[in-house]
Structure formats: structure tokens, C-alpha cells
Structure 1
Amino acid sequence: MAVKKPMMRKAPAKKPAVKKAATRGKDLKGLEKKIGKVPKFFKELTTNDPEMFDLVMKFENHIWDDGKLTRKTKKLIAIAIAAALRDQHAVRAQLAGAASLGVTKAEVEEALRVTFLLSGMPAYVYGKAQLDEVMKK
């Protein structure tokens, strides 16, 4: 006769610890240094939903930290994707942060040409118009 093993219970998932407000402020400043302008709604999470803010910050840091791609390259990808989606807010937010990473207008124009190749003329024109308005050089 086989002996039955007792069933193992999974421990309940732990909620992440919520950081203090001062720490969240430092996190925002660090993120702005890494990627440039941080959207208003994200800043509002620090008080409206601090637990969500902490989770998103962990995710943001993982994505934007230099790895095989530099932050600058990732910013160009983000600009191209935002242009392809024709998301004015996202394009402007990404462009606003691009200069602080040393992204040039010529580099953005080249990224937008790739967007044109894959997403068509409207996406290119849309991104180029935002670029010309935000990076007036």
C-alpha cells in the first residue's frame, strides 16, 4: 500500500513594501536623469497609488538601465514606436527626454526613417512634425 504524502500549501504572495514619500521623490529625480521628462500621471502615482508607483519604478529601472543597448538607443526606439502609434503625448515626452541623453535631431530623423519603412508615411510625417516643433535646431 502506497503512503500518501501530505499536501504542501503555497505561501501567500507578499505585497511589495511601499517606500516612503521622500524615497519616491528621489526615484523620480533619478528616473528623470535617466530618461528625461516623466509624465504627470506617473508623478501623481507617488501619492495616489504609492504601491503601484513602486512596482512601476522597479520595472522602469529594469528597462532603462544600460544593458546590451544604451539608454540613448532605447530612447530612439521609444520615439520611433510613439511616432508609429501616432501618440502625440508619448512622442513629445520621449523627445523632451532625448536631449538630456545626448540624442541629436539627426539621430531622431534617422530613427523616424526606419519608422517610415515599417509604419508608413503618416507615422514618419507625424513624428517629424513633433520633432521639428520640440527640437527647434
Structure 2
Amino acid sequence: MTRPPLPPFTEDTARAKVQAAEDAWNSRDPERVALAYTEDSEWRNRDRFLRGREEIRSFLAEKWARELDYRLRKELWSYTGNRISVRFEYEWHDAAGQWWRSHGNEQWEFAEDGLMRRREASINDVPIEESERRI
């Protein structure tokens, strides 16, 4: 299985990869999103360390059960060879109705088949009023 665009990335293919990731994550479908990662993909997400597509799938299902009405925007920061860096921002609310804006940066490393084999994410959350939503 391949997941174009494939490395090495150009500016256009890196932007396409970022847009594809944004579209997939906004689907809030753990099955769909998990297919973009290698079977043994390694993740750091905040303070959690995950390994493998099944752990990623479970993590995403838990995430979107907690982070309601999740909407995300990603922006290409830089790229080289088989790596892409992005900045992102997403908004969501918890079960109590509190809205949050989460800001972060990700570093991605891809295998030759275009699947992501490593993801490092640093994320900070800020409480916001519903009226402050931008996404």
C-alpha cells in the first residue's frame, strides 16, 4: 500500500500531504486516520507515547469521544526529504460545554511508501468562550 504524495517532498507535495492530513483528521474517523501510519508507527502526543496502528486507532477513538465538535486547521511550516513540520490549531468542547483551542507543532517522518512512521506532537490547550471560536 502506498499513500501519495511520496517523499522526497517538494513544496507542492508537502502542502498536499498537510491538506490530506487535515481532511482526514476533520473526518474524526479513527479507522481512516490510522491508515495513514505504518503498522509500527511511533507517536509522541503530549505526554503519551504510542506504537503501532492499533494503539493509534484506539487513542483517536478516545480523543474524539472527549473532544466534541473537533475542527482542525494545519499549516505547512517546513519540509525536507521525507520530513514535514506543521503548526496547527484546533477547537473543541468537553462534555461540560467548555470550549478549548489547542495549539501545537508536529514533526512528521515518512516511509518510502508515503505512510507516516513517526509523529512528534507538542500541544497546549487554552479555554475559550464559544463566541471566540475561529474555526
TM-score (norm: length of structure 1): 0.29
Q: Which has the larger radius of gyration?
A: 1
Bigger proportion of residues as helix: 1
TM-score, normalisation: structure 2:
0.29
Structure ranking higher in strand proportion? 2
- Higher RCO (Cα < 8 Å, 6 or more apart): 2
